[in-house]
Amino acid sequence: MGEFTRREFLAYVSAVGATTVLGLPHLRSGLWPQLESALAAAPELKEVTAWGVIDAQISSQQVIADKKGFFAAQGMGIKNRLVQSGPDIGPLIAGGSAPVSFETNITVIIVQASGVPAIIVTPLANIAGTQAVVGRKGLTLRSPKDLEGMRIGMVNGAGVLIAIRNMATELGVDINKIKFINMAPADQVAAISRGDIDAMAAWEPWVTKGIGAGGTFLFSGKLSALPGKTGPVNWMDFHTTLQVTRDFLKKNPETIRRMLRALKTATTFVNSNRDETINILSPALSIPKQELREMMNRNTYSMIVDNSFVKGSETITSFLRELNNIDKSPKLKDYADFSLLEQVDPDLVKVKI
């Protein structure tokens, strides 16, 4: 059966009666979401350009919602425009070119601190598991304290430092005895392959590439393989997000609600149909399937707003301020509004801001 329009559904109800319609078996077998969409207020915009990144952490649900027709099922046309690097999104938001974008809370905090009113309307994934430290081939640790005195390649001020600090605090490692070497992620991979450094500290896709080059996973913001401390940890929370400008939020609430419904469906699909998800995303993101699977397995795809999102965002804000990357520390309520998400599904919003 084809898609119902609002007019067609109302005509149908008028002809046979609302009670009859609501009791029909086809509503219980999958048609109701179409009718619910038809009854809702029409979206203010029929087509939206959504900026994102060629990155499994940031744009997985964005691409899946498009390729699987979840946006279309909400009566929307989405034109996805994916850039190579996440930091490229910030200037697009600031310049007014990207009223709708997919990136991370770091980008939104920086943009908001600079006076641009960008508003997060939902988290999409906790990607702290992709912020990781990988040891060179053959590296053996007898205890976490063996990290002291080692040379670790890392971009100065990289967010993975949050995970390293929390690891050091919990396990009694003197972080001041670790020798950090400022190095781009691609150079880190080459350096651990040659043994020029003892470990690299980076993010995806470089973590997987480092492991593929013979490196050994040591720990991330969410998982540890360190001796004496193996298994899940809570050393960092870092989220990808959907954000809009404040003006877009004010003018297009129904458009955003429909995007959120589509992304909720996409999130369920990503978690429940990983093989098909990888088959779709691999060519779309130009990432080999096995690498993509490893990357995605380090993420937790969820639109739930909970304490991990709140505390993670606050920690990142403090970190950016410490490094003088921002001149002021915006409050979460200044750059996040989950009222529309709560309307779509109240169970997704676990905490108030």
Domain boundary among 203, 232, 261: 232
Is 253 part of a structural domain of the chain?
A: yes
Print the domain residue range for 30: 6-38
Is 341 part of a structural domain of the chain?
A: yes
Percent of residues in the chain assigned helix, strand, coil, to nearest 5: 50, 20, 30
250 and 339 housed in the same domain: yes
Q: Which residues contact 239 (CB under 8 A, 6 or more apart)?
A: 104, 105, 123, 124, 125, 126, 127, 309, 312, 313
120 and 243 housed in the same domain: yes
145 and 292 housed in the same domain: no
Residue 153 near residue 200 (C-beta atoms within 8 A):
yes
Domain boundary among 206, 232, 258: 232
24 and 78 housed in the same domain: no
114 and 179 housed in the same domain: no
For 94-120, write each residue's pLDDT tens digit.
999 999 999 999 999 999 999 999 999
Look-up of token digits 């003018």:
251
- Judged against a pLDDT cut of 70, whether residue 83 lies above it is answered with yes
121 and 255 housed in the same domain: yes
For 171-219, write each residue's pLDDT tens digit.
999 999 999 999 999 999 999 999 999 999 999 999 999 999 999 999 9
pTM for this entry = 0.86
Is 342 part of a structural domain of the chain?
A: yes
- Judged against a pLDDT cut of 90, whether residue 291 lies above it is answered with yes
Is 161 part of a structural domain of the chain?
A: yes
19 and 57 housed in the same domain: no
Residue 188 near residue 210 (C-beta atoms within 8 A):
yes
User: How many structural domains comprise the chain?
Assistant: 3
Is 256 part of a structural domain of the chain?
A: yes
d(CA 139, CA 215): 8
Is 353 part of a structural domain of the chain?
A: no
Is 1 part of a structural domain of the chain?
A: no
34 and 49 housed in the same domain: no
Q: In the β-sheet with 239-245, what is the strand arrangement from edge to edge?
A: 77-83, 47-53, 100-104, 239-245, 118-126, 300-301
- Judged against a pLDDT cut of 80, whether residue 61 lies above it is answered with yes
